Structure 1
Amino acid sequence: MFLRTVCRAQGAKAFHQNANVRFLATQVEAAKGDKISQADKQIDYANATPYSSIPGPSVMSMLRAGLPGGSCYKMAFDEVVRFYRRKYGDILKFPGAFGNPESVITHNPDNFATVYRTEGPWPEAPAFHTLKYYREKIRPDIFGEHIGLLLAQGKKWADFRTVVNPIMMQPKATQLYIPTIEKVAGDFIERILKLRDPTTNQLPGNFEDEIHKWSLESIGVVALDTRLGLISDKYSERGAKFLHSLTSFFRLVFELEFKPSLWRIIATPKFKEMMKVLDTMTDLSCEYVDEAKAKLEEKSKNDTNSHEESILEKLLKIDPIIAKVMAMDMLFAGVDTTSSAFVAALYLLSKNPEKQEILRKELLIVLPDKNSSFTVDKMARLPYLRACLKEGHRLYPVINGELRRAGKDLVLDGYQIPKGTLVVMNSCELLKDEHYFSDPTKFVPERWLKGEEMGAGCPASQRTIHPFLLLPFGFGPRACIGKRFADMEIEILIAKLVRNFYITWEYPDLKFKWKTLNAPDGKLTFTLTDVNY
């Protein structure tokens, strides 16, 4: 049994009864007005077109297309999906191969709503099979049954989430970290000033590496209750080793899970490398958590004053293994994704100086001085900042879509989708589709503002945005548990940068490329000129 002290069936039941209410509060006004396809509503499952009739390529045709001379040779994953969408339509079937199961890919947001609405209290979202293999087969000494939120399914996932959800999802938990995250952002800006060319005000071409350091440093103070030393002048060998391993992990995930690979049959060289990388990350994480635990125990002995406990403190009191696994999951999920979302927002603001100036005016009211500190109240008074980040998610989404197993027999676009079928909800292409957004390629943060926030003459379309189109953190009980922290980290750093600098881009357009995530493909040569007020 999982976590004998708190995880009983009644606790899990109570959590799931209230899960939708809690998560819905964090989504786009979401689903009050969502519309499930009227056609599918009227088709009984038994009378729908059989699953076997869903169009799509065969295994052999896909393999041929990916070989030299093939129509998909050297295409990124999103380009491959786009190619087959043009060939087969908005719903298609991808065959299973090399140990990967068959899946259905849909490009219809009404279908997204149907899948989310019927996923049940224990949604299944298989991911990172190599990481799952490692935790279950290679290091059961560390993980046991607790393989974490990223990997667990069914009741194991529900039990784990029942424990960590009250600790991580409350707004108060995030608010506790505002001063610490702001300190990390301030240290990063000091580092930027040292890296910036004093003559041109331009940042170095390897600035993306620095952003990864900031991102890991930020989530590290939440997950591990410590500073990793990545953005200070004092070199941290452990922190650098962890970041290098994390970068290697995402490179290898792309090779082993998004490309054809035989690792499930034989231990390929890249699979062996992945196991070594995961060993390094696991061992370092355990070191950090053990050190944090010792510090907290010493602090509790010497400090009799009551204080607000950190996330790690609360988790350690429940179960040290859960604390370690949750810390690792936060580090896995919260570095590359946060970095990519931050780059997208900063790049779009640099390319749209008029929008950057609107944001700066908002910031001048909330942060009248360059060194003004953030508070909960100030964070709540930045609607245009949040709209800019949301528009960044739309134009350069970090992930290509969401994956779920159908929670029951469904009808999507008139086809039978049996319970348990893997369904890929591919929203990426739709986010730049003029059918769903006016001026879809333009950076228009105003489209996300409420009526009273838009002001007169707002250029945003009044067209209602489908509530299931842009859900960068997912939806429902399995929505990203670290959403509030990721948002806070990016909001604070973007706010500080725009308040202190005019940010410009003086080179050809930056490319974003899908590997495991949608990330910048090129040098991040931003120019930062001081704001003198």
Structure 2
Amino acid sequence: MLRAIVKQGLRASSRLAVNRNPDTSSYVQQLEAEWETAKPFSELPGPTRWQIFRGFQKGGQYHQLGMDEVMRLYRKQFGDICLIPGLFGMPSTIFTFNEATFQRIYRTEGQWPVREGAEPVLHYRKNRKDEFFKDCVGLFSNGPQWGKLRSAVNPVLMQHRNVAIYLKPMQRVNRQFINRIRELRDKDSAEVPADFLSTVNHLTFESVATVALDEELGLLREVNQPPGARKLFKNIEVFMDSFFILGMKPSIYKYFPTPTYKRFSQASDEIFDTCSMYVNKAIERIERKTAQGSTKDEKSVLEQLLQIDRKFAIVLAMDMLMGGVDTTSTAIVGLLLSLAKNPEKQQILRKEILGKLPSTDRDFSLEDMKSLPYLRAFIKESMRVYPVIIGNVRSAGTDVVLYGYRVPKGTHLLMVNSFLLKDEHLFPRAEEFLPERWLRQKDGNEDSANVLINNSLNPFVYLPFGFGPRMCVGKRIVDLELELTVANLVRNFHIEYDYPTETTFKTTFLYKPNFPLKFKFTDVKY
């Protein structure tokens, strides 16, 4: 069945690629003319392999620097584009810091955009002894296989109509999160413990699990947390920590199983076993309901995926859990900081939310969520000020000229856009937190998008979920999760933070909270 469905999806994605492909004959001619006069690839500035290897060793200029600090150093040393040579089987990569090159890369990415950076996952899945992933590597793959899988999953995860399916279970998880805050906070100071990030991670993990595994795992409970759920959560943490080490720093794991790769491989094995267990339990539930004649009119996301293929459902559940926890947690911590540091904006947001839903006893409906423009603007501004990732990754879809240099097809590229989000030329008053910049101008209001965003802003600067066919497959899930979480926090609590916030995040490829999350949650009085 999977083969038939993905063939249909492949034909659809091919039509989409033709329709959205801007490579008209004149554009192709322009590219060819630029190629003839561009500087050769070999002249791209950048460090040598030895400088990279030595730089990351103890005492080197990159040792113990966060990824953003390394990127700033590259930009200072080499300019807006540089070539970083690969070591130990890692590919050489062009780092670009210029928004015009971003647009050129995306416009020429082709039918099946290639996103590198997942080599540790692909290496593990290729070398797994039981060959489970042989014909279904998952969404970390590239090329036609990725195109088939993505075409099969898009109608399930990217369609707006399916949001209603996971709205209720995600709201139940959100209510548990609110109750957990009340349990955790100090009765005198109203502050939660410094390790509150673990609770935020439990929220995001549970929210993804309700979609990927069709089950609430119980990690937001104070007691009786299921051992299988705790084990799965711990393994996701180990997986993510080791993934960034293997993927971003020189390593010989492809030739010799290093200690980090061994931890990564063991965590991947256990994630596979646990996800398989939960998917099998879901299959049993579905079969019992079918036998009893009590099937629901609306099938869950997992049920829809199982209709495509059981193996595909297991692999996608793993991919969603691996990619949807840390990133969403970072976004939520950024939102908490934005609320705490901008009390006047917090109050404007509270007024909008309480105007739509004055009682905390009632859950939000889809119609409620559609009519909260300041909430959506607040989230966008928070993700500008506190981005989740340092940039987006692609491989060149064709021979292309970037910043005056020839870049052959297949060259690995990292578009570092996080620095541009606070560029005064692109976002006037960039250091201020102004959700109004994302709202339409009203009657000469100076705090509006027409004034606070450069009218000529390149649309490829602000892309928190990526772009095009390889846009984050969980975008609609994350959008809903962030909106529900912020709305419920604000209608229940005044949020404050009374500590320094200068060095709040550390960076691998992902920005991760690096400060005690001792937020103060005071009940809103009605």
> 1:43·1:411 contact (CA, 8 Å) conserved in 2?
no
Map 1:100-499 to 2 at 5 A: 100-149=90-139, 151-233=140-222, 234-304=224-294, 306-452=296-442, 456-458=445-447, 461-464=452-455, 465-499=457-491
Equivalent residues, number: 515
Q: 1:49 to 1:455 in 2, by over 3 A?
A: same
Stretch deviating more after TM superposition (397-406 or 136-145): 136-145
Q: For the residues of structure 2 that align with 1:374 and 1:255, how far apart are their CA atoms?
A: 40
- Which residue of the partner structure matches residue 67 of structure 2? 77
> 2:201·2:329 contact (CA, 8 Å) conserved in 1?
yes
- 2:506 aligned with 1:513, yes or no? yes
Q: For the residues of structure 1 that align with 2:32 and 2:319, how far apart are their CA atoms?
A: 42
Deviation at residue 136 of structure 1 after TM alignment = 1.6
> 2:117·2:247 contact (CA, 8 Å) conserved in 1?
no
Map 1:27-38 to 2 at 5 A: none
Deviations 1:370-392 (A, max 9, x none): 22311111101111111111112
Q: For the residues of structure 1 that align with 2:188 and 2:319, how far apart are their CA atoms?
A: 42
Query: Which secondary structure does the structure 1 equivalent of 2:4 belong to?
Result: coil
Q: 1:68 to 1:316 in 2, by over 3 A?
A: closer
The alignment's TM-score, normalised by the length of structure 1, stands at 0.93
Q: For the residues of structure 1 that align with 2:152 and 2:36, how far apart are their CA atoms?
A: 40
Q: For the residues of structure 2 that align with 1:313 and 1:370, how far apart are their CA atoms?
A: 31
> 2:289·2:295 contact (CA, 8 Å) conserved in 1?
no
Deviation at residue 21 of structure 1 after TM alignment = 8.0
Query: Which secondary structure does the structure 1 equivalent of 2:243 belong to?
Result: helix
> 2:493·2:521 contact (CA, 8 Å) conserved in 1?
yes
Q: 1:530 to 1:21 in 2, by over 3 A?
A: farther
Query: Which secondary structure does the structure 1 equivalent of 2:271 belong to?
Result: helix
Q: For the residues of structure 2 that align with 1:164 and 1:388, how far apart are their CA atoms?
A: 30
The alignment's TM-score, normalised by the length of structure 2, stands at 0.94
Q: For the residues of structure 2 that align with 1:140 and 1:46, how far apart are their CA atoms?
A: 49
- Which residue of the partner structure matches residue 15 of structure 1? 13
- Which residue of the partner structure matches residue 28 of structure 1? none
Q: For the residues of structure 1 that align with 2:59 and 2:304, how far apart are their CA atoms?
A: 56
> 2:494·2:521 contact (CA, 8 Å) conserved in 1?
yes
Give structure 1 regions of 4+ aligned residues with deviation exceeding 6 angstroms.
19-22
Q: For the residues of structure 2 that align with 1:267 and 1:251, how far apart are their CA atoms?
A: 16
> 2:390·2:509 contact (CA, 8 Å) conserved in 1?
no
Q: For the residues of structure 1 that align with 2:18 and 2:209, how far apart are their CA atoms?
A: 29
Deviations 1:457-514 (A, max 9, x none): 4265252232111111110111111000011111101100011110001111151110
> 1:20·1:477 contact (CA, 8 Å) conserved in 2?
no
Q: 1:346 to 1:136 in 2, by over 3 A?
A: same
Query: Which secondary structure does the structure 2 equivalent of 1:4 belong to?
Result: helix
Q: For the residues of structure 2 that align with 1:403 and 1:91, how far apart are their CA atoms?
A: 14
Deviation at residue 314 of structure 1 after TM alignment = 1.1
> 2:96·2:413 contact (CA, 8 Å) conserved in 1?
yes
Q: For the residues of structure 2 that align with 1:363 and 1:51, how far apart are their CA atoms?
A: 53
Q: For the residues of structure 2 that align with 1:111 and 1:359, how far apart are their CA atoms?
A: 36
Deviation at residue 154 of structure 1 after TM alignment = 0.6
Deviation at residue 50 of structure 1 after TM alignment = 0.7
Deviation at residue 19 of structure 1 after TM alignment = 6.3
Deviations 1:361-408 (A, max 9, x none): 110111111223111111011111111111121112111111111111
- Which residue of the partner structure matches residue 27 of structure 1? none
Q: For the residues of structure 2 that align with 1:436 and 1:457, how far apart are their CA atoms?
A: 16
> 1:250·1:516 contact (CA, 8 Å) conserved in 2?
no
Deviation at residue 140 of structure 1 after TM alignment = 4.4
Deviations 1:195-238 (A, max 9, x none): 11111111111100011111111110000001111112322211
> 1:400·1:428 contact (CA, 8 Å) conserved in 2?
yes
Deviations 1:231-268 (A, max 9, x none): 12322211111111111111111222212211112111
Deviations 1:148-177 (A, max 9, x none): 11x211100011111111111100111221
Q: For the residues of structure 1 that align with 2:325 and 2:296, how far apart are their CA atoms?
A: 32
Q: For the residues of structure 1 that align with 2:129 and 2:161, how far apart are their CA atoms?
A: 34
Q: 1:347 to 1:104 in 2, by over 3 A?
A: same
Q: 1:230 to 1:20 in 2, by over 3 A?
A: farther
Deviations 1:293-322 (A, max 9, x none): 110111122134651111111111111011
Deviation at residue 43 of structure 1 after TM alignment = 5.0
Q: For the residues of structure 2 that align with 1:218 and 1:285, how far apart are their CA atoms?
A: 15
Stretch deviating more after TM superposition (462-471 or 490-499): 462-471
2:189 aligned partner, one-letter code: T
Deviation at residue 41 of structure 1 after TM alignment = 6.3
- Which residue of the partner structure matches residue 5 of structure 2? 6
> 1:19·1:476 contact (CA, 8 Å) conserved in 2?
no
Deviation at residue 7 of structure 1 after TM alignment = 2.4
Q: 1:69 to 1:4 in 2, by over 3 A?
A: closer
Alignment RMSD (CA, Å): 2.1
Query: Which secondary structure does the structure 1 equivalent of 2:132 belong to?
Result: helix
